[in-house]
Chain A
Amino acid sequence: SAVISQKPSRDICQRGTSLTIQCQVDSQVTMMFWYRQQPGQSLTLIATANQGSEATYESGFVIDKFPISRPNLTFSTLTVSNMSPEDSSIYLCSVVGGRQFYGYTFGSGTRLTVV
């Protein structure tokens, strides 16, 4: 399966600022996904990011708040904009594994605290 490097692993940010999270994959993948996991909760899909096209956002998530870039087949970024304490969560990127039916591989996540 693919190996994912996600940066930063954690950060503490001031409200009103923005944070960009990077996701680097060791192989070319078509589809990348960004998830949010709020404290004590399950994972919620934010958006699907395909190279060469606009990201597709799930209900409740908008591009102005969570802009995503996907410049090539191995890299993506998620920006959390104009942060508030409610944005404190773990953010994870995910890709489909090397063999399509192997499943998804997840990064180790970015633990964000907004103060």
Chain B
Amino acid sequence: DAKTTQPPSMDCAEGRAANLPCNHSTISGNEYVYWYRQIHSQGPQYIIHGLKNNETNEMASLIITEDRKSSTLILPHATLRDTAVYYCIVRVIRGGSTSYDKVIFGPGTSLSVIP
């Protein structure tokens, strides 16, 4: 299963873009990159996911490099409520007679948005 590495912590000024990097150099061709965040004392919240194309939704943008070995989550205008731990995850799904689908969490990046 592909592992991910992220910086342990980052700061971002309120109103500025937050760019959170993630390395997943051992990712396989059919494995998706997912991003979640966890605000203190709550369950993780889905943000966005992608395979090889850049993706955007109402929360964030995901930029995946052409070789798929790394990606960047972009929060375009960070607010204080975006302060959280952000997890970059490779989702392993294997079909066939034995279904296999699980998410392994790394330590994540603790993002602090500063007024």
Q: B-contacting residues of A (Cβ < 8 Å)?
A: 1, 4, 30-31, 33, 35, 41-45, 48, 50, 90, 92, 94, 96-97, 100-109, 111
Contacts and interface: CB of A to CB of B under 8 A. Distances in A.
Contacts of B34: 103-104
Given A31-B99, A101-B32, A103-B34, A45 B43 contact: no
Contacts of A104: 34, 36, 44, 46, 103
Nearest to A30: B99
Contact of B101 (A96, A105, A107): A96
Pick the most buried of A1, A90, A103, A109: most chain B CB atoms within 10 A of its CB.
A103
Which 4 residue pairs are nearest across A and B when measured between Cβ atoms?
A: A106-B43, A43-B105, A103-B46, A42-B105
Contacts of B108: 42
B102 A103 contact: no
Given A31-B99, A42-B87, A101-B49, A107 B106 contact: no
B7 interface: no
Contacts of B91: 103
Interface residues of B, number: 23
B1 to A, nearest CB: 11
Contacts of A35: 105
B97 interface: no
Interface of B: 32, 34, 36, 41-46, 49, 85, 87, 91, 93, 99, 101-108
A48 B107 CA distance: 21
Given A106-B43, A106-B44, A42 B49 contact: no
Given A42-B107, A101-B32, A101-B49, A108 B43 contact: yes
A49 B36 CA distance: 22
A45 B104 contact: yes
Contact of B106 (A4, A42, A90, A97): A42
